[in-house]
Amino acid sequence: MSRLRLAVAATIVVALLGAATMASQRSAAAMATSANTFLAGLSAEQRAKAAFPFEGDERLRWHFIPNETFPRKGLMIKEMNESQRAQAHGLLKTGLSQRGYMTVTGIIALEDILKATETGGRMARDREQYYFSVFGAPSAQGAWGWRVEGHHISLRFTIVKGEMIASSPAFLGTNPAEVRDGAQKGVRLLADREDAGRALVESLDASQRQAAIINAVAPTDIATMNKNDIAPLDPAGLAAATLTPKQRDLLMRVIDAYSSAMEADVAAALAKKIQQAGADRITFAWAGETERGKKHYYRVQGPTFLIEFDNTQNDGNHVHSVWRDFNGDFGRDLLREHLKSVAH
């Protein structure tokens, strides 16, 4: 390659990196502004529930099961007035795409269906029992974060130096996965995640299926559950390098079903990280039956990330899905780089 072409290529790379940094800074600034607005609108008593130090165990504590089986801290929607609820939702919107926001609020609304259909249950099934928390001081300096959590929702964002954002673990679940009765009959809030995985496995030929289908029976839940530290799962499954171009597109569609729930700049950062680590090194694994309505599980695993999807509970009508980063959960990689820069 000539010196001129090298110079042009270098210029393009610098421009792209600069654009990505500016976009990330915009998103981080929007989160900080919204978080500070939310906190400023709370009473002292409410703020004591919603605000936590950045350091400590609470920021790393997470789960996706009901509050009765995993007591949570934070400020519940139930404890907010209408103005405060609007500010809380404003914060939530800064981390999610419009589609992601509608999915999350739809999952919260499923609590009404569970409340109406369950008799004698020990769970409250209350759409107002979701918790908002802020960790540290939202600003363009240092590190801070925020979290929204409750039954079937666990989302958090870690912001470092006002320009770097981490967004995992990110869990979304649905019960029912498909509403089968009533006014909302047919609603499938996580249909894109289920259908994309099924489209990929159905596209595989016999030899590919042999590598991809790791068990005829699906596990009863995601393997990583709410572990804080995770490692790549084995067996890995079918390598992306062996897929046809069309199948690779289907694999990217699976990944996009998760990343597209995030705000555009956050999703772009996830995609960039995957490409830098090597898309050919991604693997796909399936367990269980492939027919819709049957119990099944899949995972997509790359050098830096893991996606798990499980639909086995309630006879295959109850989804658990998660995005994890092997080094980046809770912003660990960003914090590591931040500490290195401070030390120098």
CA distance 307 to 304: 11
pTM, whole model, 2 decimals?
0.92
How many Cβ atoms are within 10 Å of 271's Cβ, its own excluded? 16
CA distance 175 to 172: 11
In the chain, % of residues over pLDDT 90: 88
Sorted by where each begins, the domain ranges of the chain are 3-168, 191-327
pLDDT tens-digit readout, 132-146: 999 999 999 999 999
CA distance 241 to 248: 9
How many angstroms separate the Cα of 183 from the Cα of each of 113, 179, 180, 186? 10, 9, 9, 9
Place of tokens 């609020």: 105
The count of residues in the chain is 344
CA distance 118 to 223: 27
Q: What is the DSSP letter of 304?
A: S
Q: What is the pLDDT of residue 243?
A: 98
Contact 230, 329 (CB under 8 A): yes
Contact 189, 98 (CB under 8 A): no
pLDDT tens-digit readout, 287-327: 999 999 999 999 999 999 999 999 999 999 999 999 999 99
Which token pair is 220? 């009863």
Q: What is the chain's mean pLDDT, rounded?
A: 92
Higher model confidence: residue 41 or residue 19? 41
- Evaluate if residue 18 carries a pLDDT over 60: no
Q: Which runs of consecutive H residues, i.e. helices, occur in 51-147?
A: 82-95, 98-117
Q: What is the pLDDT of residue 121?
A: 79
Q: What is the pLDDT of residue 184?
A: 94
Dihedral sign for Cα atoms in the order 62, 196, 241, 260: negative
pLDDT tens-digit readout, 119-128: 877 899 999 9
DSSP calls for 214-244: EESS--SS-SSTT-SS----SS--EEGGGS-
Query: Is residue 185 packed enough to be buried (19+ CB in 10 Å), middle (13-18) or exposed (0-12)?
Result: exposed
- Evaluate if residue 8 carries a pLDDT over 60: no
Angle formed by the axes of helices 264-277 and 245-259, nearest 10°: 140
